[in-house]
Amino acid sequence: MIVRPQVLWFILVLFLLAAQACAVAAQKEAFSEGSSRPAPGSDVTGLWEGTAVNGCGFVQMERTRCHAVVNIALTMTQQGSTVGGSYKCSTGTMMCRKLNDTGEIAYGAVREGSLSLRVMLPDGSSCIFQSKRSGERMGENYVCLQGAAIVERGQWEVERIY
């Protein structure tokens, strides 16, 4: 049996749409279930700096960015369980994706020791950061989306500067 290229593209598009829907649903659930009062010691207000390391999975659109490291900074303010603020990126082993060196935290929530952020970037893409906090450090996974397509995913870690 020969599978036509159009069928393979259709299946790939369906897979990407399903992944996007899951990411949005998980983020909506995290925001809607968050309480309005943070747990003691869970305030993330301040400047956090660290790195993001791009993975190199099968959805990697730019193969030259495999294992790219960029320096990131999150300036966050927390009110209740809601987090806002800004994002900055600077060159590590590679330039920031599509030269997006700034962004705004469009959605942010703290819940039971975890943090969920959606950062909107100047080119219209966004990155979703998920994290568990351990003292003055946090980090875990991130995924960047352009429309419904996953354009980058990897690991990130930051520590509080102040």
* Residue pLDDT, tens place only, 138-155: 999 999 999 988 889 999
8 Å CB contact between 102 and 88: yes
Higher pLDDT, 18 or 69: 69
Of 99, 94, 100, the closest CA to residue 64 belongs to 94
pLDDT band at 92 (very low <50, low <70, confident <90, very high): very high
Q: Which helix (H) or strand (E) covers residue 33, if one does?
A: helix 5-33
CATH number corresponding to 5-160? 2.40.128.30
Q: Which residues contact 59 (CB under 8 A, 6 or more apart)?
A: 16, 150, 153
All structural domains of the chain with their residue ranges? 5-160
pTM of the model: 0.74
Give the amino acid at 126. S
* pLDDT > 90 in the chain, percent: 60
Over residues 22-28, the mean pLDDT reads: 53
